Structure 1
C-alpha cells in the first residue's frame, strides 16, 4: 500500500503522521486490498473559527476509488470524523464485493433429494 500524507498551509509533524497511520490501521484491517492512500491536511483561511481544519482522503482500492472529506475546528477531530466516514464506506464497498447470492446448504440438500 502506498501512503502519501501532505499538508496545505500546514506542516505535517511526526505526531500528525503517526496519528493518521494509527487511524488508517482500522480501515486496512477491514479491507486489505487497498492499493494507494492519499491524505491531505489543510488549514483554510476563513473568518469564522469553526470548520477551518480540513482533512481529505482519496483511497484507491481494488475495484473502486473512495474520496472522503471532513472539516472541524480541531484537526485531530477532523481526522477522527474522516476515518469514521472512510471506515463506513470501505465496509460498504467490501460488502458489495462479496457474493451474497448463494444457495443455502439446506435448500441445495432438498433439491438433491428431489431428483
Structure 2
C-alpha cells in the first residue's frame, strides 16, 4: 500500500507522520486490496478558533475512491475520528464481499461438506412429513400418544397447519 501524508498550511512533524502511518496500517486488517492511502492535514482558523481538517483518500482495487473528511480542535482526535469512519466503511465493504459471495462457490462448499462423514457422530436421516393428508384432531391425538413424541404437526380438515403437544400437567395443547 502506497501512503502519502501532506500538510497544508501546517508543518508535519515525525510524530504526526508516524501516527498517520500506524492509522493506515490499522486499515490493512480488513484484507482488502488497498492500492494507496493519502492523508491531507490542514490547519483551519475561522472566527478566531483554531482547528484541524483531516482528509483520508483511500483507493481500493475494483472500487471507487473512498474520501473521508473530519474536523476537530485536536489533530490527533481528528485523525482518530477519520480512522474510525474509514474502518467502518472498509468493514462494511469487507462484510459485503464475505457474505455476498457468488452463490455457486457457496453451493460447492456445501456439497463438499455434505460428502464428509465423521465416524462416531450422530447421523441425521431426513424424513418426509405426512402433511399433505388432512386429519381430524382425534386422529392426530392417537398418533401422538402412540409415537411417544413431545409434539405432532398435521393439517386439519380446514387445511390449517396445527401442532398438537404434550403439556407438563399431562394434558394436551393445540395450536
Q: Report the TM-score when normalising by structure 1.
A: 0.82
What is the alpha-carbon distance in structure 2 between the residues aligned to residue 32 and residue 95 of structure 1?
11
Q: Does the CA-based 8 Å contact 2:4-2:39 persist in structure 1? A: yes
**Kept after mapping to 2: 8 A contact 1:31/1:91:** no
**Map 1:1-12 → 2, pairs under 5 A:** 1-12=1-12
Q: Specify every segment of 5 or more residues in structure 2 that has no aligned partner in the other structure, as ranges.
A: 115-125, 127-175
Q: What's the CA shift for 1:61?
A: 0.7
For the pair shown, the structure with the greater C-alpha radius of gyration is: 2
Superposition pairs of residues 19-38 of structure 1, within 5 angstroms: 19-38=19-38
Q: Separation in 2 of the partners of 1:83 and 1:49?
A: 24
Structure 1 residue ranges (4+ consecutive) displaced by more than 2 angstroms after TM superposition: 100-106
- Residue correspondence of structure 1 range 43-58 to structure 2 within 5 A: 43-47=43-47, 49=49, 52-58=51-57
Contact 1:31 1:90 survives alignment (8 Å)? no
- Relative to its length, the structure with more helix (as a share) is 1
Q: Distance in 1 between matches of 2:85 and 2:48?
A: 24
RMSD: 2.3
